[in-house]
Chains A and B, each alone.
Chain A
Amino acid sequence: MELDPDDEDDKQESHFHIAVSCIAQSLKSHIINRSNDEIAICFFNTREKKNLQDLNGVYVFNVPERECIDRPTARMIKDFDLIEESFEKDIGSQNGIVSDSRENSLYSALWVAQALLRKGSSKTADKRIFLFTNEDDPFGSMRISVKEDMTRTTLQRAKDAQDLGISIELLPLSHPDKQFDITLFYKDLIGLNSDELTEFMPSVGQKLDDMKDQLKKRVLAKRIAKRITFVICDGLSIELNGYALLRPAIPGTITWLDSTTNLPVKVERSYICTDTGAIMQEPIQRIQPYKNQDVMFTTGELSQLKKISTGHLRLLGFKPLSCLKDYHNLKPSTFLYPSDKEVIGSTRAFIALHRSMIQLGRFAVAFYGGTTPPRMVALVAQDEIEGDGGQVEPPGMNMIYLPYANDIRDIEELHSKPGVAVPRASDDQLKKASTLMRRLELKDFTVCQFANPALQKHYAILQAIALDEDQVRETRDETLPDEEGMNRPAVVKAIEEFKQSIYGDDSDEESDSGPKEKTRKRKAGIADEGNYDFIELAKTGKLKDLTVVELKTYLAANNLSVVGKKEVLINRILTHISK
């Protein structure tokens, strides 16, 4: 849960713009990333007032069909996008803290915010206030005694909120000629100590940018995917939790709607017996044609058949990491982390094995019964890796699902010509390849630095349609090669030299050997219509006497699709001829 009481000070139009556009951007990411979060937007130092407490100078922005603090909706984002136009008319700005009144709009704003955030327990929800302001000394114009009083009550209000588990984050906006002086007032409000003070202001710009340019990515709560019993040897089992840290992100579930009313449609599945036409329950019998008969299984028998072991993970032994080949992979790995919740001592045994495996460069082979079918798995120990932004790789083991013999295909064999040596690169070519690789080295490459272009495009389309935007926001396809880098002279030269070493001077012509000829011939054969007069046949209705293959020759020769049943093919020829 998160809240943006949003200050608007009158003077600086540009600051208002910065704050509003930042919030608008961040709402658009938020509705995708954490659509269950609840948000309220609240302006202070306003002319009009709108809040439950009926305090002056505070305006809680909202749209119909939505509570003050609620999940963001398309309507809210749409209206908020236009706020700059309607602001002066509907809300207006007015400095609430003036020397001859006892009004304290900052105090009121905090109060309103805290009241809004009362919903839900602080144990289950994360409650935050983001405070945008460009006034570093809100009570600066007051008389000393009033100022002291106001400062004290406002700080107390903030502290009360913090005691209730609400954190306050400050996003100050500096004037071009005068930097926001955090020491005047706000350092006490957000509780910075002197060490953090120096780092605070430089990080503000980054924070604003982060709010604006968030990657649209659905954020899921940390959840244990599997609880696993790891049997190390007879009589010693430990407890592990499995987490799905890497899974392909999808655009979200599809809900079918009635195209006229846009209301959700109810999908019903029915099983129909083709012999009698009767609607039936899902049958429990399944058949496999085999040896001229239909062998019948019940669903119970089939599930029984697949159950060949308990769901446990059983250690079989260890191998050096070099035995784990690049093609030993089937699906995304599962991350394992120990837990002492049920079995005390699990963590200790796990850490000991983890350390030994890393130190000796070995992985564990185990049998895991928790999937269908059960699989042999490789457990690869991963040491913790810390980066600038925190943990990059958590410590634990990654469970990699291994293929079975019949899952692996021998393609290499298919491409070997017995007794004929295949050309291999010469030393010179290797040297050129080496230069090429050095030139094309990706600096600081990290896995998952690319956003999924199709998914980002999908979110952009969704946003454009939901918010009635005229144009779909351009999304950049980050997965394309860096053209600028590729065109650097040194890179071009390296590629050119490599090409030269492989293809020689006469660059584009490739020597073909063998099969190409044949395929060309086959295609050529197809390209001609065959020996029939199709127009004549069509007129006399005799097309159906031809074979499918013969029909297809006509279609292929006229660049038409060759798929479908015979009738379809004939119809296609007839429509083509009639044109």
Chain B
Amino acid sequence: MARNREGLVLLLDVGPAMHDVLPHVEKACSLLLQKKLIYNKYDEVGIVVFGTEETQNELAREIGGYEHVTVLRNIRVVDEAVVEYVKRLPRGTVAGDFLDALIVGMDMLIKMYGAAQKGKKRLCLITNAACPTKDPFEGTKDDQVSTIAMKMAAEGIKMENIVMRANLSGDVHEKIIDENDHLLNLFSSNAIAKTVYAESPLSLLGSLKTRRVAPVTLFRGDLEINPTMKIKVWVYKKVAEERLPTLKMYSDKAPPTDKFAKHEVKIDYDYKVTAESSQVLAPEERIKGFRYGPQVVPISPDEMETLKFKPDKGMKLLGFTKASSILRHYYMKDVNIVVPDPSKEKSVLAVSAIAREMKQTNKVAIVRCVWRNGQGNAVVGVLTPNVSERDDTPDSFYFNVLPFAEDVREFPFPSFSRFPASWKPDEQQQAVADNLVKMLDLAPSAKEEVLKPDLTPNPVLQRFYEYLELKSKSTDAALPPIDEAFKRIMEQDPELSSNNKSIMDSFRGSFEVKENPKLKKTYKRLLRDKPSGSDDEDNRMVTYDNANENKIDNIGDANPIQDFEAMISRRDNQDWIDKAITQMKTRILKLVEKDSIDESDRALECLLALRKGCVLEQEPKQFNEFLNHLYELCRERNLAHFLKHFKSKKITLIPKSEAADSDVADEEAGDFYVKQEPKLES
């Protein structure tokens, strides 16, 4: 096993008390394995279940005991089968002993890799920890756990415990739970072990770190307080967005008979003097230009290179300030963590002293950082203390980037106090709002906090991997619906809402809202959203499956103007604008050709809408050409009343002032009639 590979043993509690949540355990585990197949396909995985009727493990065979622990799969490189396998976990019949399972798992890892192994070894236990553990043959349980933990630490095995604490039924003994929690805690203090309590299927999905990323330092060097006092630190990313894998483009151009076709697509960028010419400029024949007023100023790479800002690598302290002077919303980017160099004891001390004092006095540090040599810019950021609660973890700082003066847009907003009284809540309404903010509580106590970001999985990623699995079996598999568990982040918790029903009702009653009647229909998109709740299922289906529902792709007879407006404002493809304009033109011509007073009114409305659309989308040419064409047409066919209308509504060409691309000057737009008029009368 190479340095960057992982050997993992999943220890899964399948006892009767776990049956409810097992579907979610299966989901979380298969997601973990799927990602391994994509990102870490040389990782090795073993699966152990406990709480089963039968017993099947090596320790039981060798020395006896360890009953009801079954090794489903020995440690092996991940493969397709294991993803399937973990989705069909057996349902156990007896209450399992998680300590037994742990020892079996640890034994497997040690036998497989031995102590000399460099790779990462990990145990992952998922249980509800509600069943009693057996007493050891000698000593206390505490001693036994400490021994196991120390052995694990010595072998370099990491441990992750996920404890399900959802709906514990009445027959569990609190004493047992307390004891088990205590034992798990002992692991934490003696080994690299972490225990997470998941209170819902959602946080169960979130608590298992499904993507293994090897942490890389962004910076190793000095945090400079002044040139004589430096602290050795390492900087890592603390937060980095996990994205969908980048999917490759696929070409279906190769003939189906070609067995060796790679189906790859290459993207080429051609730089041409004019759109028509076929002459392509070589990289050295082009140069970067930047806007300076109306002109574009070329700057050669050499000039740029010699003149540009070249800061030196390093972290420099600028000073300290009150925490309250940095408002939370000024944090600009994902977050870094600054930890002391683990080999420098004094640096660990220095960071500890500053971090603890910062926390004590509510201060933060302002630093200027250049992470790499040759980096084009410096960043100014804030260090906030991250004081460790664990004895074996060094104190550190979080680093957040702060904005520069140029990054702030100073838009003024009216003070709330200056609003008319009808826009402000009265005392009674304020009391109702206070109540809502107090009672719709997601963190009644630190322990009971729900929807922690740290335990909330990404619904889109979850859905992608599920879809991927389905598609791998059948190419035309349907998109799976979003997992039920995610309802918890997408809607209010029904239990919380129903507990606070009276508060919600009074809030609704106190704050009536209504649509602004003065607005046109097309603008009334806001209140269309149906309330969610009991009849929610339908609503969800609507939003998920018929997302295209209100996408108009044709201008119909009934509401041509609305259709046109909807179409032209579609942003999913540039082509829609052209399509909308073309279709609208045809519609207008049709209406004009009908030649009746009635229709000419409608045609005129359509024409106005078209003009508005063309101004908005900056397509003046399209409109101006059409208007000229229309004029000619009317003259030819002698459609006098339409022309009269035309004039009375003062429809003009689109001049430069309305759309920069127009080649019609402001004066000419008005001249249109003057010019055409005599011809008409002649």
Please determine whether A285 and B249 come into contact, CB atoms closer than 8 angstroms: yes
Closest chain A CB from B204 CB (angstroms): 11
With A255-B289, A270-B267, A360-B438 already in contact, the answer to whether A248 and B403 are too (CB < 8 A) is yes
B167 at the A interface (CB under 8 A): no
Residues of chain A within 8 A of B442, CB atoms compared: 316-319, 365
User: Which of B222-230, B621-629, B642-650 touches A?
Assistant: B222-230
Closest chain B CB from A118 CB (angstroms): 12
Size range of the chain B interface in the assembly = 35 or more
Most buried by B among A257, A340, A449: A257
A52 at the B interface (CB under 8 A): no
A310 to B70, CA, bound (A): 45
Please determine whether B453 and A455 come into contact, CB atoms closer than 8 angstroms: no
Residues of chain B within 8 A of A481, CB atoms compared: 226, 316-319, 368
A171 to B225, CA, bound (A): 46
Prevailing SS type, chain B contact patch: mixed
A275 to B262, CA, bound (A): 6
Please determine whether A515 and B211 come into contact, CB atoms closer than 8 angstroms: no
Most buried by B among A333, A349, A393: A349
Closest to B193 in A: A418
Residues of chain A within 8 A of B380, CB atoms compared: 450, 479
A403 to B398, CA, bound (A): 15
User: Which of A100-108, A324-332, A532-540, A555-563 touches B?
Assistant: A324-332
Which of B249, B394, B463 is A415 in contact with, Cβ under 8 Å? B394
A531 at the B interface (CB under 8 A): no
- List CB contacts (< 8 Å) of B531-583 with chain A: 531-533, 543-544, 547
Closest chain A CB from B671 CB (angstroms): 18
- List CB contacts (< 8 Å) of A18-76 with chain B: 31-32, 35, 71-74
Residues of chain A within 8 A of B591, CB atoms compared: none
Closest chain A CB from B276 CB (angstroms): 9
Residues of chain A within 8 A of B519, CB atoms compared: 341-342
B638 at the A interface (CB under 8 A): no
A437 at the B interface (CB under 8 A): yes
Residues of chain B within 8 A of A457, CB atoms compared: 307-309
B631 at the A interface (CB under 8 A): no
Which of B334, B432, B441, B511 is A330 in contact with, Cβ under 8 Å? B334
Please determine whether A408 and B239 come into contact, CB atoms closer than 8 angstroms: yes
Please determine whether A393 and B393 come into contact, CB atoms closer than 8 angstroms: no
Please determine whether B247 and A287 come into contact, CB atoms closer than 8 angstroms: yes
A204 at the B interface (CB under 8 A): no
Closest to B666 in A: A119
* A348-370 Cβ-contact flags toward B at 8 Å (1 or 0): 11011111110110101101000
Please determine whether B511 and A349 come into contact, CB atoms closer than 8 angstroms: yes
B139 at the A interface (CB under 8 A): no
User: Which of B44-52, B176-184, B484-492 touches A?
Assistant: B484-492
A380 at the B interface (CB under 8 A): yes
A341 to B523, CA, bound (A): 10
With A445-B366, A454-B308 already in contact, the answer to whether A217 and B511 are too (CB < 8 A) is no
Which of B238, B285, B404 is A408 in contact with, Cβ under 8 Å? B238
A511 to B200, CA, bound (A): 47
B674 at the A interface (CB under 8 A): no
Closest to A321 in B: B328
Closest to A355 in B: B430
B291 at the A interface (CB under 8 A): yes
Please determine whether B337 and A411 come into contact, CB atoms closer than 8 angstroms: yes
Please determine whether A290 and B368 come into contact, CB atoms closer than 8 angstroms: no
With A267-B271, A275-B254 already in contact, the answer to whether A447 and B402 are too (CB < 8 A) is yes
With A247-B407, A318-B442 already in contact, the answer to whether A411 and B467 are too (CB < 8 A) is no
Residues of chain A within 8 A of B438, CB atoms compared: 318, 356, 360, 362
Closest chain B CB from A344 CB (angstroms): 5
Please determine whether A453 and B311 come into contact, CB atoms closer than 8 angstroms: yes
Residues of chain A within 8 A of B228, CB atoms compared: 495-496, 499
Please determine whether A307 and B513 come into contact, CB atoms closer than 8 angstroms: no
Please determine whether A404 and B413 come into contact, CB atoms closer than 8 angstroms: no
- List CB contacts (< 8 Å) of B463-498 with chain A: 463-464, 467-468, 471-472, 475, 479, 482, 486, 489-493, 496-497
Closest to B398 in A: A326
Closest chain A CB from B670 CB (angstroms): 15
Which of B194, B206, B269, B347 is A268 in contact with, Cβ under 8 Å? B269
What are some 7 contacts across the A-B interface (CB < 8 A)? Answer: A257-B286, A271-B266, A271-B267, A273-B253, A348-B422, A349-B511, A418-B191
Please determine whether B239 and A382 come into contact, CB atoms closer than 8 angstroms: no
Closest chain A CB from B461 CB (angstroms): 7
Which of B189, B210, B422, B514 is A406 in contact with, Cβ under 8 Å? B210
With A259-B286, A442-B321, A477-B378 already in contact, the answer to whether A353 and B249 are too (CB < 8 A) is no
Most buried by A among B232, B329, B461, B471: B329
Please determine whether A510 and B240 come into contact, CB atoms closer than 8 angstroms: no
Please determine whether B526 and A237 come into contact, CB atoms closer than 8 angstroms: yes
A266 to B307, CA, bound (A): 28
Please determine whether A318 and B441 come into contact, CB atoms closer than 8 angstroms: yes
Please determine whether B407 and A236 come into contact, CB atoms closer than 8 angstroms: no
Closest to B217 in A: A411
With A351-B425, A437-B358 already in contact, the answer to whether A316 and B451 are too (CB < 8 A) is yes
Residues of chain B within 8 A of A320, CB atoms compared: 443
